[in-house]
């Protein structure tokens, strides 16, 4: 990168697709990240303290931003390709997954002291808290989502997928987990309690489906594809175990 710093852009927007309504994007603020080089990855927020945690993948660091002041306040250095990050309020911990060495590292949120490291095979990626917030789910390697108990910070199981999982979302209202599988150009639907795949939704016209977001209230699943660059909207109201109604926004 030629520039020595990033401008982290916070955007407030009205979400729009062709099937719903058109909206506008409004720039709210730009937050400078001094000395951060290379691309950023996943992020999470401590809504009570208004802190944003950003995985700086190429910079091998976790950047902590005070959203009230719009300022970078702390960093965790020496990571290895950080990708996923999750804040765990009741434990006072920050969990960071690393694509380089396949580790999941837990840090104290107040002191940033490393308290636990759990090893996966390789490429530890996206993270999600379970519905009860007592378990953490970790996409990793070429095949699975790992399950970690937050009570003892121990790895207790895996959900096998057979291909690398990218972003995934847990739907608490339906008891299902939706997982992007770009290697198969599909979304896997998992029954949360059993950990079994109950449906596969192909994305034949959308390659490289990496990002994913879920609107539980409206039961809409948003999937970002790189090739072609588009957003796929899936309605989850009907036929949840068989198919979804696809709508596209470019």
| pLDDT tens for each residue of 12-39 | 333 444 444 456 678 888 898 988 999 9
CATH class of 38-165: mainly beta
| pLDDT tens for each residue of 163-176 | 999 999 999 988 99
CATH number of 166-250: 2.40.10.480
Q: What does pLDDT average to over the chain? A: 87
| pLDDT tens for each residue of 133-160 | 899 999 999 889 999 999 999 999 999 9
**Which position has the higher pLDDT, 245 or 57?**
57
Interior/surface letters 51-89, b for 16+ CB within 10 angstroms, e for the rest: bbbbbbbebbbbbbbebeeeebeebbeebebbbbbbbbe
pLDDT confidence band for 247 (50 / 70 / 90): low
Distance of CA 41 to the CA centre of its chain: 9
- The pLDDT assigned to 11 comes to 40
- The pLDDT assigned to 227 comes to 86
Closest C-alpha to 67, from 44, 51, 53: 51
Burial of 13 (0-12, 13-18, 19+ CB in 10 A): exposed
Partners of 230 in the β-ladder: 225
- The pLDDT assigned to 245 comes to 53
Q: For the chain, what are the domain ranges?
A: 38-165, 166-250
pLDDT confidence band for 4 (50 / 70 / 90): very low
Place of tokens 């990050």: 85
| pLDDT tens for each residue of 40-89 | 999 999 999 999 999 999 999 999 999 999 999 999 999 999 999 999 99
* 205-220 mean pLDDT: 91
| pLDDT tens for each residue of 89-146 | 999 999 999 999 999 999 999 999 999 999 998 999 999 999 888 999 999 998 899 9
pLDDT confidence band for 205 (50 / 70 / 90): confident
pLDDT confidence band for 249 (50 / 70 / 90): low
CA 120 to each of CA 35, 98, 102, 148, 157: distance values in angstroms, whole numbers, following the listed order = 30, 10, 5, 11, 11
- The pLDDT assigned to 26 comes to 83
Residue 238 predicted with pLDDT over 90: no
| pLDDT tens for each residue of 6-16 | 444 444 333 44
């Amino acid at each position: 990168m030629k520039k020595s710093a990033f401008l982290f852009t916070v955007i407030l927007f009205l979400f729009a697709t062709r099937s719903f309504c058109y909206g506008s994007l409004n720039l709210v603020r730009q937050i400078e990240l001094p000395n951060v080089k290379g691309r950023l990855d996943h992020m999470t927020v401590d809504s009570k303290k208004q802190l944003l945690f950003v995985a700086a993948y190429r910079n091998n660091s976790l950047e902590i931003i005070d959203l009230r002041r719009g300022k970078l306040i702390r960093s965790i250095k020496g990571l290895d390709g950080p990708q996923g990050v999750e804040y765990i309020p009741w434990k006072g911990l920050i969990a960071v997954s690393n694509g380089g060495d396949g580790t999941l590292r837990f840090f104290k949120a107040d002191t940033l002291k490393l308290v636990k490291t759990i090893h996966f095979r390789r490429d530890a990626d996206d993270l999600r808290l379970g519905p009860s917030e007592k378990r953490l789910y970790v996409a990793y390697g070429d095949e699975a989502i790992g399950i970690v108990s937050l009570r003892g910070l121990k790895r207790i199981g895996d959900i096998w997928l057979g291909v690398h999982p990218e972003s995934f979302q847990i739907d608490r209202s339906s008891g299902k987990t939706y997982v992007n599988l770009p290697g198969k150009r599909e979304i896997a639907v998992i029954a949360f309690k059993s950990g079994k795949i109950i449906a596969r939704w192909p994305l034949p016209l959308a390659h490289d489906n990496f990002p994913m977001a879920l609107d539980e209230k409206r039961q809409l699943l948003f999937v970002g594809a790189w090739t072609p660059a588009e957003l796929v909207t899936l309605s989850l109201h009907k036929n949840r175990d068989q198919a979804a109604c696809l709508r596209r926004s470019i």
